[in-house]
Amino acid sequence: MYDNWEELEKSIENCNRCRLCTNRKNIVFGVGNKEAKVMFIGEGPGADEDIQGIPFVGKAGQLMNKCFEGIGINREDVYIANIVKCRPPSNRVPEQDEADACLNYLRNQVILVKPKIIVLLGSTALKNILGKEYGITSARGKWVENKSILYMPTWHPAALLRDENKKIEFWRDLKEVKKKMEQ
């Protein structure tokens, strides 16, 4: 574990712990307030994120930003990261060994940020953070407390692009997060 951001970022610059490193353009480390009260964790970078090296800048990220704006969450006030730091081919779900290769980086980010709330965006984030026994459909929208951190599982913004009906639930979940942020 690294006790500062510079060492942590440097440690993954040349990461080759899994096969995802072979096709990456950029490592997508994380972005935002490094002392945020709220952290958002997604699955992994897509094409736009791989090019820019920033999480959630593609269509799903743009939709998430609109939701943030509508609810009064400033993207610069939160910290955003992913389970894996390199883009899986064709935006497929990261395989378990790929996620496992990156999880210590993510754990270290959580330790450094010290968030009070973590929003788990989608099934991959949920299962890798809280456990394989969780399913996003049943866990979504329900607070889970673990090691003095409150977790809110919700839909990944990419799921909202595929199914408009999930937008209402995502919106409700974000409103709950906003309410907790203000407490």
Domains delineated in the chain: 5-181 (3.40.470.10)
How distant is the alpha carbon of residue 112 from its chain centre?
15
pLDDT at 93: 97
CB 127 within 8 A of CB 113: no
Token pair of 97 as six digits: 């060994």
pLDDT of the chain, 183 residues: tens digit per residue: 899 999 999 999 889 999 999 999 999 999 999 999 999 999 999 999 999 999 999 999 999 999 999 999 999 999 999 999 999 999 999 999 999 999 999 999 999 999 999 999 999 999 999 999 999 999 999 999 999 999 999 999 999 999 999 999 999 999 999 999 999
pLDDT at 73: 96
pLDDT at 182: 94
pLDDT at 39: 98
Provide the whole-model pTM: 0.97
Read off the DSSP letter of residue 81: E
pLDDT at 105: 97
H helices within 25-165, ranges in order? 47-52, 59-71, 96-113, 123-129, 136-139, 157-162
